[in-house]
């Protein structure tokens, strides 16, 4: 049987990515070999790691920003889709206001953080926040038992409409406006929906590669959506890709932290988001998780998982100072706050079965000025100031 081999040689520079966090792989040359058998059927395709797949999205979003290629900026007529007797400007203002209200209601600290951004950026971040929250609510909210893959397909169609300036409601209208104004690619949004699909069909992850992909879908995507809005500092010398990598890392770090905090809660819903091969290596099984006993094996396993989450936070730190000055504070605040959840798991002696790790009010309050200081002086200078 004859087969045609199509070889796609990729630009080596475009494939310089993070591999196994902390180790930067230089010029990894990857050739995708797509084989078509008789009748055009795909015969074999070498398996790419999740990191390689995700890195392609990073590159696409980064190049969109570099080229300052903006959305088509179609003047959309809100009157056609939203009833009301007022001008586009009025509708948009109240659409953004409502996004702000949702944000203030569901994510108070983060809402506070956005107050330091310019009004335009703040509103755009709110619009993205609301879309992410609504997407997550589909699979985690009160109606989640009725959500099918078809419902997610419809949500994705609606997303395409939003990107093509056909909003369905006020929240969509704010997002339509945002994505027409900033160089935001649709792919991370689609990928977040893919993450929700994954949640519907999958409750175990064989290895970290599978978990990494899930974390990218539901959280790394948020980093990629946010940076085009937050903006990169004009004086930054870092490459756009490296900044997007850091943003991706922050999302992954947050989601890994979420997973470690919620082990007990997830297990009670029949879900284990921990890599099965690593559990087995540690001599642990699903039954150990379901029984919820904190043993020495569990503590050791958790130490490794926490270490990995911290490495992603470290990777993220490298990019925060490259963001435009007004965007650094909320990002530092979210990084410092989320990272402390890991400290809290340790303080609970790794009992994430019956205790919920959280950041206390005092630490929360202290983190905000600390984040502000780091944003202003940089992490190194601030440490020096306090060491004197």
Residues that bind ligand LST6JFWI (CB under 6 A): 110, 113, 125, 128-129, 132-133, 136, 140, 218-219, 222-223, 226-227, 243, 246-247, 250-251, 254-255, 258, 316, 319-320, 323, 330-331, 334
246 touches, from ligand LST6JFWI, Mn ion, none (C-beta below 5 to 8 Å by class): ligand LST6JFWI
Distance CA 40, CA 3 (A): 9
Encoded one letter per residue, x for contact with Mn ion by CB under 5 A and - for no contact, window 78-117 reads ----------------------------------------
For the CB of residue 175, give the shortest distance to ligand LST6JFWI in the complex, in Å: 11
Least distance to ligand LST6JFWI, CB of residue 84, Å:
27
How many of the chain's residues bind Mn ion (CB under 5 A)?
Answer: 2
Among 90, 140, 153, 265, binds Mn ion (CB under 5 A): 140
Contact, 224 vs 188, CB < 8 A?
yes
Residue with tokens 């539901």: 218
Should residue 136 be labelled a site residue for Mn ion when binding is judged by CB under 5 A?
yes
Distance in Å, CB of 219 to ligand LST6JFWI, minimum: 3
Taking the C-alpha atoms of residue 86 and residue 380, their distance in angstroms, rounded to an integer, is 51
In the bound state with ligand LST6JFWI, the residue whose beta carbon lies nearer, of 96 and 129, is: 129
Helices then strands, each counted (H, E), the chain: 18, 6
Contact call for residues 10 and 52 (beta carbons, < 8 A): no
Q: Give the bridge partners for 1, in sequence order.
A: none
Picking from 153, 160, 123, the residue whose alpha carbon sits closest to that of residue 138 is 153
Report the residue number, 110 or 377, with the smaller CB distance to ligand LST6JFWI: 110
Pick between residue 81 and residue 121 the one whose CB is nearest to ligand LST6JFWI: 121
User: How far is it, in rounded angstroms, from Cα 178 to Cα 120?
Assistant: 9
277 interface partner picked from Mn ion, ligand LST6JFWI, none, CB below 5 to 8 A per type: none
Which of residues 100 and 319 has its CB atom nearest to ligand LST6JFWI in the complex?
A: 319
- What is the smallest separation between the CB atom of 23 and ligand LST6JFWI, expressed in angstroms? 19
Q: List C-alpha distances in Å: 101 to 123, 259, 364, 365.
A: 11, 27, 21, 22
Query: Which tokens belong to 144?
Result: 């989640």
For residue 227, with 0-12 CB atoms within 10 Å meaning exposed, 13-18 middle and 19 or more buried, which class applies?
A: buried
Residue 153 CB, nearest distance to Mn ion (Å)?
20
DSSP character at residue 210: H
Interaction of residue 286 with Mn ion, rule CB under 5 A: no
Residue 34 and residue 44: Cα distance in Å, rounded? Answer: 7
45 makes contact with Mn ion (CB under 5 A)? no
Q: Which stretch binds Mn ion (CB under 5 A): 133-141, 150-158, 209-217, 246-254?
A: 133-141
d(CA 292, CA 51): 32
Nearer to Mn ion, 77 or 265 (CB): 265
CB of 135 to ligand LST6JFWI, least distance (A): 7
| Burial tier of 74 (Cβ tally within 10 Å: 0-12, 13-18, 19+) | exposed
CB of residue 141 vs Mn ion: minimum separation in angstroms? 8
Q: How far is the CB of 334 from ligand LST6JFWI (least distance, A)?
A: 4
Q: How far is the CB of 270 from Mn ion (least distance, A)?
A: 15
Q: Which residues contact 190 (CB under 8 A, 6 or more apart)?
A: 156, 159
CA 152 – CA 136 distance, rounded (Å): 11
- Spatial separation of the C-alpha atoms in residues 57 and 68, rounded to whole Å: 16
Complex with ligand LST6JFWI: residue 81 or 213, whichever CB lies closer: 213
Which is it for the CA torsion 199, 201, 207, 209, positive or negative?
negative
Which residues lie near Mn ion (CB under 5 A)? 136, 140
């Amino acid at each position: 049987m004859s087969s045609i081999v199509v070889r796609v040689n990729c630009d080596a520079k475009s494939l310089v990515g993070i591999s196994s966090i902390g180790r930067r792989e230089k010029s990894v040359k990857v050739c995708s070999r797509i084989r078509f058998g008789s009748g055009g059927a795909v015969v074999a395709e070498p398996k790419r790691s999740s990191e390689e797949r995700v890195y392609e999205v990073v590159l696409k979003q980064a190049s969109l920003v570099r080229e300052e290629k903006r959305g088509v900026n179609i003047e959309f007529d809100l009157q056609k889709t939203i009833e009301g007797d007022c001008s586009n400007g009025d509708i948009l203002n109240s659409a953004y206001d409502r996004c702000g209200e949702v944000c203030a209601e569901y994510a108070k600290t983060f809402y506070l953080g956005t107050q330091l951004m310019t009004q335009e950026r703040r509103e755009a971040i709110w619009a993205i926040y609301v879309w992410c929250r609504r997407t997550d609510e589909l699979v985690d909210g009160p109606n989640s038992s009725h959500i099918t893959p078809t419902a997610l397909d419809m949500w994705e169609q609606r997303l395409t409409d939003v990107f093509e300036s056909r909003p369905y409601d006020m929240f969509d209208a704010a997002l339509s406006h945002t994505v027409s104004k900033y160089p935001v690619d649709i792919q991370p949004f689609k990928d977040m929906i893919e993450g929700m699909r994954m949640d519907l069909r999958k409750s175990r992850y064989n290895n970290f590669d599978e978990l990494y992909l899930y974390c990218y879908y539901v959280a790394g995507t948020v980093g990629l959506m946010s940076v085009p809005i937050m903006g990169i500092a004009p004086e930054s010398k870092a490459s756009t890709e490296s900044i997007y990598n850091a943003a991706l890392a922050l999302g992954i770090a947050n989601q890994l932290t979420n997973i470690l905090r919620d082990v007990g809660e997830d297990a009670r819903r029949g879900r284990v988001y921990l890599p099965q091969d690593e559990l087995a290596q540690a001599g642990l099984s699903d039954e150990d998780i379901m029984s919820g006993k904190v043993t020495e094996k569990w503590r050791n396993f958790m130490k490794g998982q926490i270490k990995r989450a911290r490495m992603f936070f470290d990777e993220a730190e490298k990019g925060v100072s490259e963001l435009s000055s007004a965007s650094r504070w909320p990002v530092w605040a979210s990084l410092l706050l989320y990272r402390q959840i890991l400290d809290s798991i340790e303080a609970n002696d790794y009992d994430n079965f019956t205790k919920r790790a959280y950041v206390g009010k005092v630490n929360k309050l202290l983190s905000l000025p600390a984040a502000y200081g780091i944003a202003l002086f940089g992490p190194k200078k601030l440490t020096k100031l306090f060491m004197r």
